[in-house]
Homo-oligomer: A and B are copies of this chain.
Amino acid sequence: MATQGVTPRGATPRGVTPRSEDYSRWYTDVVQQAELADYAPVRGCMIIRPYGYELWDSIKIALDRRLKATGHRNAYFPLFIPMSFIEKEAEHVEGFKPELAIVTHGGGSELEEPLVVRPTSETLFGEAYARWIQSYRDLPMLINQWANVVRWEMRPRLFLRTTEFLWQEGHTAHATREEAVEETLKILDIYAEVSEKVCAVPVIKGRKSPQEKFAGADDTYTIESMMGNKWALQGATSHFLGQNFAKAFNIQFLDEKNELQLVWTTSWGMTTRTVGAVVMTHGDDKGLRLPPAIAPIQVVIVPIWKTDEEKVSVFAFADEVKTQLNAAEIRVELDAREGLSPGFRFNDWEMRGVPVRLEIGPRDVAARSVIACRRDVAGKEAKMSMTVEGLAPRILALLDEIQVSMLKCATEFRDAHLCKASNLAELADIVEDGWALIYHCGTRECEDKIKEETKASSRCYPLDKNESWSPKGKVCAVCGKPAFGKAYFARAY
């Protein structure tokens, strides 16, 4: 990744609203002041600025590599869907109709049939798969696309809920139910890995309740993460669609016995909301904290000088350091701005969440060393002196350490705020400052009641291998009806 011209030139860190004062304001302040995104003229839409886009691109590259390694290929399906297509799968249209943007005019005249700006593309893939799939030899069909989608949003928030957002949507067709379920869970594992290993955002993998599943799916699996205010955020979902779309679009194949069968399909997506998850998992009152794996700038060099003579030697040394780190493929930026105090520039890079800052002053030049300062920890342990000889490998090791440490911290924070509840009162108490795990009946009435009384929603039935998951003989902690499973409830984005 080239980083030419990355240095913000006239940037003015103004400081953000403290999280404790107003978490929502803090989030918006950080997103805007770190120049991740900005509001657009159309309400609900946003401009993803270069720094935010580079962050998204790092996540995209990490996910795309994993999808290709598991046999998926990228394609591109159209933006526009005929209204009649959306209506072919009954649950699907019911779920999406309130969120649609509709094109009624094109090329200067009114259209015979209105077009939907895609909210998701199961219907278009369904139509094409019905034509492309003939025999079992054509299966599995594993196609993904990176695209923009539109779902009308009444209460937009930058990255978290926007009328238009970017995502990938995978659509696969399989010969058997087992294969399709396996694919759904394989993708869930990939999402969890990208979230944890790449974004350092810990997840709980689980199944959505019948009410929360995707419109048209038999089962929806999700990764759920805890933000800094203990609210939950759904990170990505993977849907087992059964034969619902196969029936709606007549996607059939001749099996090895030459008999006509319906395929089994899946779909799954991860979106730009992941950027919001990174901000809210790691950010602090100084601004962003970025995991090295996705940071557009991993290391910033801040030269410090007073006299012109010092400036020459400090910049010569800074250039030497930059060259060494560049050669090791570290994404490094030299802050060559003039007329700004060191303190101002430190704050500026802290706001942007750059994982490591290297300070270089005249004394460092003399000692052929640098002061390295970690963004992820506070106080004295953040700073360390490093000699320039063999600096690159030490910085690489430090970046790895930060990556691991950020996931560990976020996981400990999350785990400290997970709690079991055995009745509604306990649940209400827990979700004020964490997530509550209860046996739950899975019914809409009970979910609605909990929502009304506590503002918490059903996040997922966790796929926890270490704990007995079976609801057999158990009853709902809230209403006493037979349990469907163990579910997390939390306030959520």
* Chain A interface (Cβ < 8 Å from any Cβ of B): 1-2, 4-6, 9-10, 38, 40-42, 45-50, 52-54, 56-57, 68-69, 71, 73-82, 85, 97-108, 114-115, 117, 124, 127-128, 131, 134-135, 137-138, 142-143, 147-148, 150, 152-154, 163-164, 166
Q: Which residue from chain B places its CB closest to the CB of A82 in the assembled complex?
A: B41
Q: Is the CB of B106 within 8 A of A103?
A: no
Q: Is the CB of A98 within 8 A of B105?
A: no
Shortest Cβ gap from A84 to chain B (Å):
9
Q: With A41-B124, A85-B41 as known contacts, state yes or no: A154 contacts B107, CB within 8 Å.
A: yes
Complex-state Cα separation, A4 to B71, whole angstroms: 5
Q: Is the CB of A104 within 8 A of B104?
A: yes
Q: Is the CB of A42 within 8 A of B115?
A: yes
Q: Which residue from chain B places its CB closest to the CB of A85 in the assembled complex?
A: B41
Q: Is the CB of B128 within 8 A of A10?
A: no
Q: With A42-B81, A79-B150 as known contacts, state yes or no: A74 contacts B53, CB within 8 Å.
A: yes
Q: Report which of B40, B102, B152 forms a contact with A77, defined as CB distance below 8 A.
A: B40
* A82 contact set on B, CB distance < 8 A: 41-42
Q: With A2-B68, A71-B5, A101-B106 as known contacts, state yes or no: A79 contacts B45, CB within 8 Å.
A: yes
* A99 contact set on B, CB distance < 8 A: 107
Q: Report which of B1, B105, B135, B164 forms a contact with A80, defined as CB distance below 8 A.
A: B164
Q: With A103-B103, A124-B41 as known contacts, state yes or no: A50 contacts B74, CB within 8 Å.
A: yes
Q: Is the CB of B78 within 8 A of A124?
A: no
* A49 contact set on B, CB distance < 8 A: 75
Name the residue among A5, A106, A152 with the largest chain B CB count within 10 angstroms: A106
* A104 contact set on B, CB distance < 8 A: 102-105
Shortest Cβ gap from A128 to chain B (Å):
6
Shortest Cβ gap from A39 to chain B (Å):
10
Shortest Cβ gap from A160 to chain B (Å):
16
Q: Report which of B9, B50, B102, B135 forms a contact with A137, defined as CB distance below 8 A.
A: B9
Q: Is the CB of B103 within 8 A of A102?
A: yes
Given known contacts A40-B124, A42-B81, what 5 new A-B pairs fall within 8 Å (CB)?
A10-B135, A45-B78, A49-B75, A98-B107, A100-B105
Complex-state Cα separation, A5 to B172, whole angstroms: 13
Q: With A101-B105, A102-B103 as known contacts, state yes or no: A78 contacts B42, CB within 8 Å.
A: yes
Q: Is the CB of A148 within 8 A of B79?
A: yes
Shortest Cβ gap from A117 to chain B (Å):
7
6 tightest A-B CB contacts, nearest first: A107-B152, A50-B73, A45-B78, A2-B68, A48-B76, A102-B105
* A76 contact set on B, CB distance < 8 A: 47-48, 53, 56, 166
* A5 contact set on B, CB distance < 8 A: 71, 73, 142
Q: Is the CB of B102 within 8 A of A75?
A: no
* A142 contact set on B, CB distance < 8 A: 5
* A40 contact set on B, CB distance < 8 A: 77-78, 124
* A124 contact set on B, CB distance < 8 A: 40-41, 47
Shortest Cβ gap from A255 to chain B (Å):
13
Q: Which residue from chain B places its CB closest to the CB of A139 in the assembled complex?
A: B9
Q: Which residue from chain B places its CB closest to the CB of A148 in the assembled complex?
A: B79
* A107 contact set on B, CB distance < 8 A: 98-101, 152-154
Q: Which residue from chain B places its CB closest to the CB of A57 in the assembled complex?
A: B74
* A137 contact set on B, CB distance < 8 A: 9-10
* A73 contact set on B, CB distance < 8 A: 5-6, 50, 53-54
Q: With A107-B152, A124-B40, A137-B10 as known contacts, state yes or no: A74 contacts B54, CB within 8 Å.
A: yes
Shortest Cβ gap from A258 to chain B (Å):
14
